[in-house]
Amino acid sequence: MKKDTISLSMEAQKLGATKRYMEKKDASIEQELGEALQKLYEKYVPAAVREYIDETADSMPAPKAKKQREKTPQHSPNHPHEDI
């Protein structure tokens, strides 16, 4: 199933402390947040909708590998914010 990304903000000092102390307990912030998102999904999305999503995900063909971009866009030296 295709994945999407969520971006969250937290005070840098608090995030750093959270990561530091989680590492001491061999915990991953990404794994913990992923588990929390799964619980939110299960709590708020009706069972019938979750079942439908699971069924359609199982019946979809595997995605083909995307071709990697040959080059990333370069910026013009005269206009550093414009793509050529």
Q: How confident is the model at residue 9 (pLDDT cuts 50, 70, 90)?
A: very high
Do residues 22 and 29 touch, judged by C-beta distance below 8 A? yes
Do residues 73 and 84 touch, judged by C-beta distance below 8 A? yes
Which two structure tokens, joined as six digits, stand for 26?
A: 């061999």
Q: For residue range 12-48, what is the model confidence (pLDDT) as tens digits? A: 999 999 999 999 999 999 999 999 999 999 999 999 9
Q: What is the structure's pLDDT at 16?
A: 97
Q: Where are the domains of the chain?
A: 12-59
Distance CA 9, CA 32 (A): 16
Which two structure tokens, joined as six digits, stand for 41?
A: 């999904």
Counting beta carbons within 10 angstroms of the beta carbon of residue 22, is it exposed (0 to 12), middle (13 to 18) or buried (19 or more)? middle
- Tell if the pTM clears 0.85, that is, is over it: no
Q: How confident is the model at residue 51 (pLDDT cuts 50, 70, 90)?
A: very high
